[in-house]
Amino acid sequence: MVMISVLVLLGLGLVTATVLAVASRVFHVEEDPRVQAVLEALPGANCGGCGFAGCEGYATAVVTDPAIPANRCCAGGAATSVAVGELTGKVVAEAEPLRSFRRCDKLAGKVVKPYDYKGMPSCAAAAAVAIGGSSTCAYSCLGFGDCVQVCPFDAVEIKDGLAVINPIKCTGCGLCAEACPRNVLELIPARARVMVFCSTQDKLKRVAEVCGVGCIKCGRCVKSCPAKAVTLENERIHINHKLCLSYGPECEEACAASCNRNALRVICRVSLAEAGKQAEATPEESAPVREAAAKEEA
């Protein structure tokens, strides 16, 4: 009886193996060798910044789909885009480099902590259980580091309860911005000149009560911008960086100059020096930003 059972199992195994072998030949799909070549040209970060689950997904798509451009790999930069373009025969369009930016400066605004949060050390958890989290401002950076956990390039760290972005390491993949439950982090062009250091949607009275540099939506920046690049949408000030950069520096950053709350500031522009990868701030950066940078480095 045992022998019969063994023979039956062996027979089933043989039949199954035969069916699988035949199926593998019948349904075999020849992979384009360029897929592997593109995969080897990619940095292998699997960050998802290209819009695909990983490098292999993008490599397959960019080879097989004519609509997928060769410059989608933000982690690899221009050199990778050129390599992918050569392998796929696609024209490489110049892409605007992006970097992550934090729309909050609760330290300068002296935003207080009404209590010590003792729950799960996660921004998502804190945002879910309390309107203000561990801060009186319901729109400020919570500082528990969800963004740090998801960044594959070690470009984010928490200092004094604030997420600090390293513009040299940041590739603009956007994972940190997606992980932020407060939408404090957002992607901006690396060449952006002015940014809003506030994400509040509260009214004037509430903002004035909780933060010394919070945006009160007075509209002076909107009126002063000759490029019409500054707008008030959904109770938040937004900058159309494409319009701002197209207009050029002739406006002398009028929007930032008009803000008496220092919520709009000229931000540091950095160059990626090939030797040493040192960040070099240009002379045009504002005094408040220099002071903030000095405090963060201290």
Write out the binding residues for [4Fe-4S] cluster.
47, 50, 55, 73, 137, 141, 147, 151, 170, 173, 176, 180
Phi, psi of 243 (to 5 degrees): -65, -40
Annotated binding site: 47, 50, 55, 73, 137, 141, 147, 151, 170, 173, 176, 180
